[in-house]
């Protein structure tokens, strides 16, 4: 849903919520402050949406310098909208799936989004995970899959994990046919007509995390809807697929150097 203007960032990225997880760096870009133009303005981070590659590269380098995180040397994903999770210790790689886990300090995990929810998990000083959570992935069980993968990698129980669900499309702007919500998003009201049901993907994802063993009080969830804020976010659904992508990341360890970002208020 729309947020008060005073809560919106005026810069190019959001840091993880305050008092999230010590010794872990996480963030998500906005569309502000880059070199992309036209319907992709201003900070598109995808090379696969028709942008000029040199502009995308400049956007990556600008964000890398601002966040003081080696984003261009990160482990990345080729998204499948499923539940495949990879544990990795390699940078400069791209793996097919929807989640990454690492216990290697200083290795960023990154993915791009434009409505689907980015999920960042952390076990303090032990490991981090990043997952791409669209409605198909949430319905298929991406939450327990990534929780169990991080627990296996770190040897820590889910109750030791912190979670941040970043900005994504809200129930104000997202609906599905009732048949598509059966068994995973029951109980939501009609979205203005009987042929569609408004779905709160963030709450569905949070419920999946709790069911997997996370404490509800350790789950931080963004109040910002990517579809509502065209000045701030790209949105695949709002823009009918003709749009850019934001970048989201998590890394075990602190940023290296000076940086500044707005922290979301939760």
Digit-coded pLDDT (tens) for 169-200:
999 999 999 889 888 887 666 666 667 889 99
Q: DSSP assignment, residue 53?
A: H
Q: Give the model confidence (pLDDT) of 130-177 as tens digits.
A: 999 999 999 999 999 999 999 999 999 999 999 999 999 999 999 999
* Residue 254 banded pLDDT, cuts 50, 70, 90: confident
User: What integer best gives the mean pLDDT of the chain?
Assistant: 90
pLDDT of residue 260: 36
The predicted structure's pLDDT at residue 150 = 98
The domains located in the chain, with CATH, are 21-253 (3.60.140.10)
pLDDT at 261 > cutoff 50: no
Residues 6+ apart with CB under 8 A from 264: 7, 14, 15, 16, 17, 220, 222, 223, 224
Q: How far apart are CA 117 and CA 134, in angstroms?
A: 6
**Cα 153 to Cα 99: distance, rounded to the nearest angstrom:** 13
Instruction: Name the DSSP class of 44.
Output: -
The model carries a pTM of 0.91
Residue 14's pLDDT is 93
Query: Model confidence over 46-93: pLDDT tens digits?
Result: 999 999 999 999 999 999 999 999 999 999 999 999 999 999 999 999
Q: Using CA atoms, how far apart are residues 98 and 75, in angstroms rounded to an integer?
A: 12
Inform me whether the pLDDT recorded for 258 exceeds 60.
no
Q: Quickly state the pLDDT bin for 249 (edges 50, 70, 90).
A: very high
Q: How far apart are CA 139 and CA 134, in angstroms?
A: 9
Bond from prior residue into 259 cis (ω within 30 degrees of 0): no
Percent of residues, the chain, with pLDDT higher than 70? 89
């Amino acid at each position: 849903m729309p947020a008060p203007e005073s809560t919106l960032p005026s810069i190019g990225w959001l840091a993880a919520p305050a008092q999230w997880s010590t010794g872990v760096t996480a963030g998500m870009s906005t569309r502000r402050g880059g070199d992309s133009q036209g319907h992709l303005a201003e900070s598109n981070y995808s090379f696969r949406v028709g942008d000029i590659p040199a502009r995308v590269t400049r956007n990556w380098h600008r964000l890398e310098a601002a966040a003081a995180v080696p984003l261009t040397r990160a482990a990345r994903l080729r998204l499948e909208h499923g539940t495949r999770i990879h544990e990795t210790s390699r940078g400069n790689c791209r793996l097919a799936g929807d989640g990454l886990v690492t216990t290697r300090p200083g290795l960023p995990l990154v993915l791009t989004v434009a409505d689907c929810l980015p999920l960042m998990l952390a076990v303090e000083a032990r490991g981090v995970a990043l997952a791409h959570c669209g409605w198909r992935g949430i319905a298929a069980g991406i939450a327990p899959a990534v929780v169990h993968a991080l627990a296996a990698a770190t040897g820590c129980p889910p109750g030791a994990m912190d979670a941040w669900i970043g900005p994504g499309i809200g129930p104000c702007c997202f609906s599905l046919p009732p048949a598509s919500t059966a068994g995973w998003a029951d109980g939501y009201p009609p979205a203005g007509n009987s042929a569609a049901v408004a779905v709160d993907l963030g709450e569905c994802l949070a419920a999946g995390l709790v069911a997997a063993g996370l404490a509800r009080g350790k789950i931080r969830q963004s109040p910002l809807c990517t579809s509502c804020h065209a000045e701030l976010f790209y949105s695949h659904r709002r823009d009918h697929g003709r749009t850019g992508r934001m970048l989201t990341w998590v890394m075990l360890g602190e940023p290296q150097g000076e940086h500044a970002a707005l922290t979301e208020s939760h």
